[in-house]
Amino acid sequence: MRGGDWDASALNLAVFRGDAALTRFLLEHGADWTEQHGHGDNACGTLGWASCNEPVEGGDWLGCARALLDHGMPGATAIPNDPDWVLIAGMRKRFSDEVTEELLGRGV
């Protein structure tokens, strides 16, 4: 079921809110990080926007990143001379510093 003013899936809404437990649950039950939402992107794009803008106080976008990585989203590749952006599945993306480090495989 899709909803919201951006035609988002439940997975996108969970990632937007930084709800890592629900993100993991949905992925374990068939959700796919590549499913598009109404802004023409997927859960990776949602993670980028939400981790940088923190639309919900106390969101766990690092946990969401880990869940997405654990369920098929590829890690990031650094872009030489552009530390603010990374490549994921050939697409240029921006994340919070903490999430970027995790996606690059440098997280703790």
Residue 83 inside a domain? The answer is: yes
**What are 41's two structure tokens?**
């992107």
Tally of structural domains, the chain:
1
The mean pLDDT value for 76-96 works out to 95
Nearest to 77 by CA among 69, 68, 89, 86: 86
How much is the mean pLDDT over the chain?
A: 92
C-alpha–C-alpha distance, residues 79 and 61, integer Å: 22
pLDDT in tens, 58-81: 999 999 999 999 999 999 999 999
Domain coverage including residue 62: 10-103
Residue 28 inside a domain? The answer is: yes
Residue 86 inside a domain? The answer is: yes
Nearest to 35 by CA among 62, 7, 60: 7
Residue 1 inside a domain? The answer is: no
pTM of structure: 0.92
Task: Using alpha carbons, list the distances in angstroms from residue 52 to 1, 2, 10, 18, 31.
Answer: 26, 24, 20, 11, 23
| Nearest-10 Cα torsion for 34, 79, 97, 67 | 30
Q: What is the pLDDT of residue 5?
A: 58
3 pLDDT higher than 60: no
